[in-house]
């Protein structure tokens, strides 16, 4: 039986080594709002007033190191922006914060920017194209691709900052 299409991912909790360092990225660079903080152990962040979309905690990871390459764990958490202008604004903030990219791609169905948070967690910032613009094979199945994303053109679409 397929999963009900109304099911979505409500929040993600990430183990971090240093809460303030993690907040400097998730709050100050990406723009999430802190809805609750528990000292230096945990913080809950939201987009738009939800109780939390991102949970950050040091309960098992204070002072820890990122997982070594070649080990299992979270590949990335994906943040979907409502439109290209908002994705461009996120790109502008990432550039201003000197956060390096792991990559960027046009997947036909979406445009995505890939980076890492200070604890090495993969982060995808993306926007979906309208469903009727998704590339499809002759049999109607999705035909996703991986092409270069023009980051300069994307940045040109960022809303001006006052």
Sorted by sequence, the CB contacts under 8 Å of residue 40 that are 6+ apart come out as: 19, 20, 58
Which pLDDT band, with edges at 50, 70 and 90, does 107 fall under? Answer: very high
Residue 65 predicted with pLDDT over 80 = yes
How sure is the predictor about 2, in pLDDT bands with cuts at 50, 70 and 90? confident
Please give the span between the terminal C-alpha atoms of the chain, in angstroms, as a whole number: 51
pLDDT mean over 3-20: 92
Q: Which fold has domain 11-60?
A: 2,3-Dihydroxybiphenyl 1,2-Dioxygenase; domain 1 (3.10.180)
Over range 43-72, report the average pLDDT. Answer: 94
Question: pLDDT at position 9, please?
Answer: 86
pLDDT exceeds 70 at position 21 = yes
How high is the pLDDT of residue 118? 96
Burial annotation 45-68 (CB, 10 A radius, 16+ → b, else e):
bbeeeeebbbbbbbeebeeeebee
* pLDDT-above-70 percentage for the chain: 99
Instruction: Evaluate if residue 121 carries a pLDDT over 80.
Output: yes
Q: Which residue has the higher pLDDT, 73 or 115?
A: 115
Q: Which residues pair with 34 in a beta bridge?
A: 45
pTM reported for the whole predicted model: 0.93
Give exposure, 104-138, as e/b (b: 16+ Cβ within 10 Å).
bbbbbbbbbbbbbbbbebebbbbbbeeeeeeeeee
CB atoms within 10 A of CB 93: 16
Domain spans of the chain, in order of start:
11-60, 76-162
Q: Looking at residue 160, what is its pLDDT?
A: 82
85 pLDDT band, cuts 50/70/90, is very high
Distances (CA, A) of 45 to 33, 81, 127: 5, 16, 20
Any idea which fold 76-162 has?
3.30.720
Q: 88-99 pLDDT, tens per residue?
A: 999 999 999 999
Mean pLDDT, the chain, integer: 95
């Amino acid at each position: 039986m397929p999963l009900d299409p109304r099911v979505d991912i409500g929040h993600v909790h990430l183990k971090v080594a240093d809460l303030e360092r993690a907040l400097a990225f998730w709050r100050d660079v990406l723009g999430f709002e802190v809805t609750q903080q528990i000292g230096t152990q945990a913080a809950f962040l939201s987009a738009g007033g939800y109780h939390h979309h991102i949970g950050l905690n040091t309960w098992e990871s204070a002072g820890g190191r990122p997982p070594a390459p070649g080990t299992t764990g979270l590949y990335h958490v994906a943040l979907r922006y409502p439109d290209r202008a908002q994705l461009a604004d996120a790109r502008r903030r990432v550039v201003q914060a000197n956060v390096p990219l792991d990559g960027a791609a046009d997947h036909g169905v979406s445009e995505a920017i890939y980076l890492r948070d200070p604890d090495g967690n993969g982060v995808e910032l993306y926007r979906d194209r309208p469903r009727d613009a998704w590339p499809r094979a002759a049999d109607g199945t999705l035909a996703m691709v991986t092409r270069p994303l023009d980051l300069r053109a994307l940045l040109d679409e960022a809303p001006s900052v006052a």
